[in-house]
Amino acid sequence: MNRKYGISSGILLVFILAISLFTGCKSGKKAPQEDEEINMPTDNTEILQDIKQAEKIFNALPSPLESAMLIKSAGAMFNENLLNPVSNVSTYVTNKSMALNLGIYTCDLSIASMYEQTQLLIDYMNAAKKMADGLGILKAIEQEDIDKLEENINNSEVIMDIVSQTFMNSNSYLEDNGQPATAAMVLVGGWIEGLYISTQLVDMKDFNGNKLVGRIIDQKLSIDILLDLLNSSKGNPAVEELIVQVTKLKAVFDKININTSPVRPEFDKNSNTTVLKSEVKTDMTPAVFTELSSTVTEIRNSFVK
């Protein structure tokens, strides 16, 4: 008797809480009766002060699509051998390896799209789909996305929209379903792949004044963002391993100096755009570049093995 009573009161409690949770979603609207019963403060100052403490911080890494665009715009040549072969897909079975390689394959497919490598693009989209499916990311990349890709294979705008949308789907699914550590690993995988491919494409005979070298130096600006992103999931064993690897990479980036003059915003009426004017001086030596390149290669190889 007691037991029966216990279960039904539990269900009743759950029911009441569920009702209050779901009705609570109508924020911003008054519930007059509750207003009379609950002693609300006369102004919102105290509430707002409490809320202010719950500040949200986002750390945004360059997306795989942006990394691919930077490589292409630096005038680098395409080299298929630098991509992670799609035949490796079946070897990724852990959550960590699937997350990292979802980022890696998304970067590879972004590069394939930039260089109009149509068959590769479809192969890499399928590889990314397998990683997303393995991670249980629902509807990130659907068969209809791949079909649409095939139908629009010569339309770069549609292709970039599909790539961007599928990345957003994975990224948002993980964030929204309480898996920020996995979401961070996807971003790390994509960023490391972009950096790895960039370093491999640098011709040492053409080091000074090489635009791609400039883009690689720029990645120093993102290394602290990357560490902050990982530190927000500290305690996760897979993330802890990545923090050790990225800290090693940061130590090499710290050998590069970037001196930027104060930024002066100026509005350009012709383009209706603000130009952030500033001058920059950097000093990466070929020796530091070689060290950076070997550190990135070591990290990337540990991701794709």
Partner 1 sequence: MRLLKTIPILAFLVFAYSGSVNAQCKAFAKKECLPELGAYTHDGNYHAAVLVEGEEAELYKTFYSDMEYRISIVGEDKLPSVEFKILDVNKNVLYSNKDKDYASTWDFRLESSQQLKIVVKVTSFNKPGDTPASGCVAIMFGFKLKK
Residue 265 binds partner 1, judged by CB under 8 A = yes
Minimal distance, residue 273 CB to partner 1, in Å:
5
- Under the binding rule (CB under 8 A), the answer on residue 37 touching partner 1 is no
Q: Is 94 helix (H, G, I), strand (E, B) or coil?
A: coil
Quote the least distance from Cβ 302 to partner 1, whole Å. Answer: 24
The interface with partner 1 within residues 108-147 (CB under 8 A) comprises none
Cα–Cα separations (whole angstroms), residue 292 to 60, 230, 240, 299: 22, 20, 21, 11
CB 283 within 8 A of CB 259: no
Among residues 22, 32, 77, 81, the one that binds partner 1 under rule CB under 8 A: 22
Q: Which of 154, 273, 287, 305 binds partner 1 (CB under 8 A)?
A: 273
> Measured from the CB of residue 262, what is the shortest distance to partner 1 in angstroms?
7
Q: Which stretch binds partner 1 (CB under 8 A): 78-86, 88-96, 142-150, 271-279?
A: 271-279
When the beta carbons of 1 and 25 are compared against partner 1, the nearer one is: 25
Q: Which of 79, 91, 94, 165 binds partner 1 (CB under 8 A)?
A: 165
Nearer to partner 1, 218 or 302 (CB): 218
Dist. CA 292–CA 282, nearest whole Å: 15
Question: Pairing state of beta strands 258-260 and 280-282?
Answer: antiparallel
Q: Which residues pair with residue 277 across a beta bridge?
A: 264
Q: Does 287 bind partner 1 (CB under 8 A)?
A: no
Residues in 1-20 that interact with partner 1 by CB under 8 A: 6-7, 9-10, 13-14, 17-18
Q: How far is the CB of 81 from partner 1 (least distance, A)?
A: 25
- Per the listing, tokens 């540990």 go with 302
User: What H or E segment, with its residue span, contains residue 282?
Assistant: strand 280-282
29 vs 305, beta carbon nearer partner 1: 29
What CA–CA distance (Å, rounded) separates 183 from 180?
5
294 lines the binding site for partner 1 (CB under 8 A): no
Q: Which residues contact 176 (CB under 8 A, 6 or more apart)?
A: none
Of residues 56 through 115, those in contact with partner 1 by CB under 8 A are 56-66, 69-70, 73-74
3-state secondary structure of 259: strand
235 binds partner 1 (CB under 8 A): no
Please say whether the beta carbons of 147 and 108 come within 8 A.
no
Of 96, 153, 93, 85, the residue nearest 119 (C-alpha): 153
CB nearer partner 1, residue 67 or residue 236: 67
Report the alpha-carbon distance of residue 242 to residue 99 in Å, rounded: 12
Residue 74 class from Cβ within 10 Å (0-12 exposed, 13-18 middle, 19+ buried)? Answer: middle
From the list 228, 198, 22, 194, the residue with the least C-alpha distance to 109 is 194
- Binder among 80, 147, 150, 161 for partner 1 (CB under 8 A): 161
Among 234, 251, 275, 285, binds partner 1 (CB under 8 A): 275
Single out the residue of 33, 39, 42, 119 in contact with partner 1 (rule: CB under 8 A).
42
Site size for partner 1 (CB under 8 A) = 76
